[in-house]
Structure 1
Amino acid sequence: MEEFDGAGKLKISELAERAKVTKRTIDYYTKLGLLNAERSSSKYRFYDHSSIKRIEFIEDRKKAGLTLNEIKKELSEKFFEEIDLLELRLKINELNRDVSAVLSRLEKLGFKKDDEIKKKISHESLSLIQKLLLLFT
C-alpha cells in the first residue's frame, strides 16, 4: 500500500488560517467527528479543501444557536449533498447574471448576439445548457 504524503491536502495550520478558526477548534471538531483527517506516516493530520466549507457551515450553524450534536446530525452525507446542490444552484444563478450582463453589454456595442452565438455554440452544447438551466431553476 502506498504511503499517504498529504499532497494536495491542507495541514491543520493552513486549514485554521483559511477557515479563520484556531487549530484547537479544528482539533475539537475532528475529535467530535465533525471533520475528517487523513494521517501521514509521520502522524501529521491533513484535511481536504472541502473542510473549509464544512467549518464555515459549522460556524454558521453555531451562530444560529445549534449545538455541536445537532450540527453533527445535519452533517450526514445526505444533508451535505443537499448543501452542495444548493451551492451549485447559486453558482448557476450567478453565472446566468454574468452572462446576461455580458450579452447586454455586447448588445449595446452593436454585437449581433443571436447569430454570432449560434455560430460559436454547437447544438449539443446548447441543448445541455438548456437542460441544466431547467434542472436548476
Structure 2
Amino acid sequence: MRKDQPPAQRLYRIGELSSLAGISPRTIDYYTSLGLLLPAKRSTGNYRLYDDETLSRLHRIEQLKAQKFSLEEIREQFAPHNRVAGDEAVNRKLADLQVHLAQLEREVKELEPVLEQLKPRQAKRLYRAITPQTAACVEALLLLLGKSNFM
C-alpha cells in the first residue's frame, strides 16, 4: 500500500453490523428504510454493505433514543450530514454538536416556565450573576426558539 492512500475501510454485512452494534438485523433494516442509515455500497451478491461510520451512527441513534428523541427528530438531525460528503471525523463532530444543541434546546424549554415567572428585579439580578458568554448563549437559544424577551 502506498503512503498517500488511505487504508481500506472494513465493510460489514447486516448480520455482522448487528452483532457489533448489539442491535437486531430487523432494526438495522428499519433504520435503513427510514433513511437513518445508508449502505456504503452493495456486494457482488447484492448484499448491502455498511462501514464503520454506520456503526458509529448506530451508536449515536441509540444514544439519542435513550435521551427520548423520536426517530423523526433523529432523522432531522442527521439530514444535513447525509448531504455533506467528506471526512468521517468532521461528520461525526457535526453530528455530536447537533446532539448537544438539541439537548441544550430541551433544557432551555424546561427553564422557560421558570424564566417567565421571574419578576423584573429577579431577572436583572440573574442577568448580573451569569457571565456574558452564558447570557449570550441563553439569548441565542431563545432566539432559535423564537422567544427572546429574557434580557
Tell me the TM-score normalised to structure 1 length.
Answer: 0.52
What is the Cα deviation at residue 59 of structure 1?
0.5
Q: 2:64 maps to which residue?
A: 61
Q: In structure 2, list runs of 5 or more residues that go unmatched.
A: 1-8, 83-88, 97-151
Q: 1:34 maps to which residue?
A: 36
Identity rate of aligned residues, in percent? 36
What is the Cα deviation at residue 82 of structure 1?
6.0
- Picking from 93, 102, 119, the partner of 1:84 is 93
- 2:81–2:94 Cα contact (<8 Å) kept: no
Cα distance in 1, alignment partners of residues 51 and 80 from structure 2: 16
The one-letter code sitting in structure 1 at the alignment partner of 2:19 is E
Aligned to 1:84, the other structure's residue is in SS state helix
The one-letter code sitting in structure 2 at the alignment partner of 1:21 is I
Q: Root-mean-square deviation (CA), in Å?
A: 2.6
What is the Cα deviation at residue 55 of structure 1?
0.3
CA-to-aligned-CA distance 1:13-42 (integer Å, 9 cap, x gap): 111111110000100000000001122232
Higher relative contact order (CA 8 A, sep 6+): 1
Cα distance in 1, alignment partners of residues 25 and 36 from structure 2: 14
Structure 1 residues 58 and 86: alpha-carbon distance in aligned structure 2, compared to 1, 3 A threshold: closer
Q: Deviation above 2 Å: which 4+ runs of structure 1?
A: 76-87
- Picking from 7, 10, 15, the partner of 1:8 is 10
Tell me the TM-score normalised to structure 2 length.
Answer: 0.47
Q: 1:99 maps to which residue?
A: none
Q: 2:51 maps to which residue?
A: 48
What is the Cα deviation at residue 85 of structure 1?
6.1
Count of aligned pairs between the two proteins: 81
Cα distance in 2, alignment partners of residues 31 and 60 from structure 1: 20
Cα distance in 1, alignment partners of residues 95 and 68 from structure 2: 22
Q: In structure 1, list runs of 5 or more residues that go unmatched.
A: 1-6, 88-137
Aligned to 2:56, the other structure's residue is in SS state helix
